[in-house]
Every structure is written in C-alpha cells, then in structure tokens.
Amino acid sequence: MSDTCSVIPSPCVGLCRMDEANRWCEGCLRSRDEIAGWGTMADLEKLTLRTQLTQRRQTLRAPTPPRAPAPDT
C-alpha cells in the first residue's frame, strides 16, 4: 500500500492545544514535530507513533478524549 492512500487514521481528536510544560498537544499527546510529520510518515511509522501515544496516555493516566464530531459538509 502506498503512503498516499494510507488508511491509518490520524490520532487527532479535535482538541488542538499545546501544553507548554510537556510540549504535547493536550488532545492527542503528539509533539509539534509529530503533528507536522504525520502526512509524510509511512504506515509503519504511523502505527509506531500510535503505539507510543497509547503508552504516553497510560503513563500520564489521562483518559482518552472523545473525538470531535466531523463537520457537516
């Protein structure tokens, strides 16, 4: 499968606010570099990052925030 038709969903939950203390997004727990690089990551890199994000959330004992509803188009 090519990177251009990736089926791995973004970890973004629509709560986009950077926590200055740990420099992660408060919603998805990605760094600015991880957010910026998502579109060019290979599927394996995306899967690896999603695993890391799960571990970050568990470490922080943060609940998984609900996904923001998709905008009506």
The two structure tokens encoding residue 14: 């629509």
The Cα–Cα gap between 2 and 67 comes to 26
Count of structural domains within the chain: 1
Torsion of CA 6, 58, 24, 19, to 10 degrees: 140
pTM over the 0.85 mark: no
- Could you report the per-residue pLDDT of 10-32, keeping only the tens digit for each? 999 999 999 998 899 999 999 99
**62: phi > 0 → left, psi -120 to 50 → alpha, else beta; which?**
beta
Q: Does residue 22 sit within a domain?
A: yes
Return the pLDDT at 1: 47
Q: What is the pLDDT of residue 44?
A: 96
Structural domain boundaries enclosing 37: 15-60
Tell me the pLDDT tens digit for each residue of 50-72.
999 999 989 887 566 677 776 66
